[in-house]
């Protein structure tokens, strides 16, 4: 196997990224970054356990299970087991099905789902220590996010589902790190992954979206396994004339791939959602929940509200001005649903973004009174909600930095609470506290597979 060499300045990005993945060691990872890896895993288990009983996953498990070749790997929140490839796909789908997973703010990639799912599946057939697992997860996230930054914002704006299209690279690089691939083999894995990248924004709000997220995990794993067999690929799969960046991007910024590699970590630009909805709705929901608890609101009949004015960055209107949500998926990106449900129920969890909640006549009636005011100078993490009342002075609530934003992150305690709440929601019967303890101590285990096995549903909870 001859090693690859870069022949021109334009064929250095893929190889540089591959060499970084191959050479990086655990002792080079700062303590703060190590802790953030655990936080990403805490959030991963929360959302995967919540999604495990969703009809999307039920249907997928039934179908994928017909072709599973073994029962090597755990399905989070479920009693079934499957082969590594199918378990990787299904666990990525489960973690992303509600779009409640982590968000890399510069790209809006949900980075952990397609990478952690693969590593946990591998850990049940190959013994992986906690530090090795954490390092591979970190490097997979680094790869997919940097590739995403090189083609943002054009890529998502064109209609590509960036978690799916870039997640496949994260999965491939994380797997390759565990397998001990050379830089040449890692570069080949990038090439095979690039040929399997796909996913459309048009599928959002439907079950079809989950397929490409699952493919990102499964196909990246397959790309690395093939590279391990010296299944070769192009020298410049990312930056080549017809490589991923130039085909899927518009004037890609190649420097985003290599700038400050190993010095600035993209996992530190990842936020965790307090609510199961589009991130631009976070400050709005913070404001609505605060309004609902104000003393003056206790004496106001909702019929007295003439209009609800939302002032925020133009993206708030562009992404969430969606009246008439037809189901729970659509309600997650609808201000006309999110605002009234939070005001009326004083909560904003998964139950409030369900199909049943969407059918609430009071919510629909109040949602018709939503009005938007654009302010291009406001941050996407800020909003003002103003209630215009019949015969009374307006009531206003301002949020300058939403809970869950990078500048106001969820605390460790809040992430633990999220895991407990979503574990209950998924009805798997898993012991959330045992999972929480295992995640915080994953760096001291010699068997990372022991952590995912805690997320297997007890046989008594079999559906």
pLDDT, one tens digit per residue, over 290-343 is: 999 999 888 888 889 999 999 999 999 998 999 999 999 899 989 999 999 999
SS (H, E, C) 10-41: HHCHHHHHHHHHHHCCHHHCCHHHHHHHHHHH
Query: Beta partners for 383?
Result: 312, 399
Per residue in 399-424, pLDDT tens?
999 999 999 999 999 999 999 999 99
What's the confidence (pLDDT) of residue 106? 94
Per-residue burial over 114-138, b if 16 or more Cβ lie within 10 Å, else e, is: bbbbbbbbbbbeeebbbbbbbbbbb
What's the confidence (pLDDT) of residue 1? 57
What's the confidence (pLDDT) of residue 205? 80
Confidence of residue 259 (pLDDT cuts 50, 70, 90): very high
Is 255 a residue whose pLDDT tops 90? yes
User: Do you know the residue count of the chain?
Assistant: 463
Per residue in 345-394, pLDDT tens?
999 999 999 999 999 999 999 999 999 999 999 999 999 999 999 989 99
- Cα–Cα distance, 328 to 356 (Å, whole number): 8
C-alpha 70, offset from chain centre: 28
* Whole-Å CA distances, 426 to 353, 429, 431: 14, 8, 12
Lookup: tokens for 342: 């939070």
Confidence of residue 462 (pLDDT cuts 50, 70, 90): very low
Q: In 3-state terms, what secondary structure has residue 370?
A: strand
What's the confidence (pLDDT) of residue 9? 46
All structural domains of the chain: 9-272+411-461 (1.10.4100.10), 279-399 (3.30.1330.120)
CB 428 within 8 A of CB 54: no
CB 388 within 8 A of CB 308: yes
Confidence of residue 3 (pLDDT cuts 50, 70, 90): low
CB 372 within 8 A of CB 393: no
- Cα–Cα distance, 52 to 61 (Å, whole number): 10
Per residue in 107-134, pLDDT tens?
999 999 999 999 999 999 999 999 999 9
CB 189 within 8 A of CB 195: no
Mean pLDDT of 68-92: 97
- Cα–Cα distance, 276 to 332 (Å, whole number): 7
């Amino acid at each position: 196997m001859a090693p690859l060499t870069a022949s021109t300045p334009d064929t250095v990005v893929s190889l540089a990224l591959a060499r970084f993945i191959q050479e990086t060691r655990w002792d080079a990872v700062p303590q703060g970054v190590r802790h953030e890896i655990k936080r990403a895993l805490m959030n991963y288990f929360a959302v995967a356990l919540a999604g495990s009983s969703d009809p999307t996953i039920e249907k997928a498990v039934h179908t994928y299970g017909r072709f599973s070749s073994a029962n090597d790997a755990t399905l989070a929140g479920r009693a079934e087991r499957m082969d590594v490839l199918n378990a990787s796909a299904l666990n990525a789908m489960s973690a992303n099905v509600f779009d409640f997973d982590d968000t890399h703010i510069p790209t809006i990639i949900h980075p952990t789902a397609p990478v952690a799912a693969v590593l946990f599946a591998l850990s049940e057939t190959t013994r992986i220590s906690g530090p090795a697992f954490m390092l591979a997860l970190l490097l997979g996230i680094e790869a997919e996010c940097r590739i995403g930054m090189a083609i943002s914002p054009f890529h998502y704006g064109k209609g590509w589902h960036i978690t799916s299209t870039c997640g496949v690279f994260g999965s491939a690089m994380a797997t390759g790190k565990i397998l001990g691939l050379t830089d040449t083999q890692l570069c080949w894995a990038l090439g095979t992954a690039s040929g399997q990248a796909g996913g459309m924004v048009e599928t959002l709000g439907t079950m079809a979206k989950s397929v490409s997220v699952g493919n990102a995990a499964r196909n990246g794993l397959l790309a690395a396994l093939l590279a391990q067999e010296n299944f070769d690929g192009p020298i410049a799969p990312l930056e080549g004339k017809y490589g991923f960046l130039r085909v899927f991007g518009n004037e890609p910024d190649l420097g985003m791939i290599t700038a400050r590699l190993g010095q600035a970590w993209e996992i530190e630009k990842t936020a965790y959602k307090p609510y199961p909805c589009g991130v631009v709705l976070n400050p709005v929901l913070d404001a609505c929940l605060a309004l609902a608890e104000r003393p003056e609101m206790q004496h106001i009949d909702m019929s007295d509200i003439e209009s609800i004015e939302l002032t925020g960055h133009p993206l708030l209107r562009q992404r969430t001005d969606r009246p008439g949500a037809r189901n729970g998926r659509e309600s997650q990106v609808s201000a006309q649903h999110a605002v009234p449900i939070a005001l009326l129920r004083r909560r904003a969890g998964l139950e409030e973004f369900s199909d049943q909640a969407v059918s609430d006549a009071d919510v629909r009636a109040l949602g018709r009174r939503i009005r938007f005011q654009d302010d291009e100078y406001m941050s996407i993490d800020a909003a003002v909600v103003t209630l215009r009342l019949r015969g009374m002075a307006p009531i206003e609530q301002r949020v300058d930095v939403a809970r869950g934003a990078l500048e106001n992150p969820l605390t460790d305690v809040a992430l633990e609470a999220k895991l407990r709440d979503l574990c209950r929601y998924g009805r798997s019967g898993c012991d959330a506290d045992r999972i929480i303890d295992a995640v915080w101590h994953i760096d001291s285990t010699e068997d990372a597979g022991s952590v995912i096995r805690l997320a297997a549903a007890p046989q008594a909870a079999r559906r």
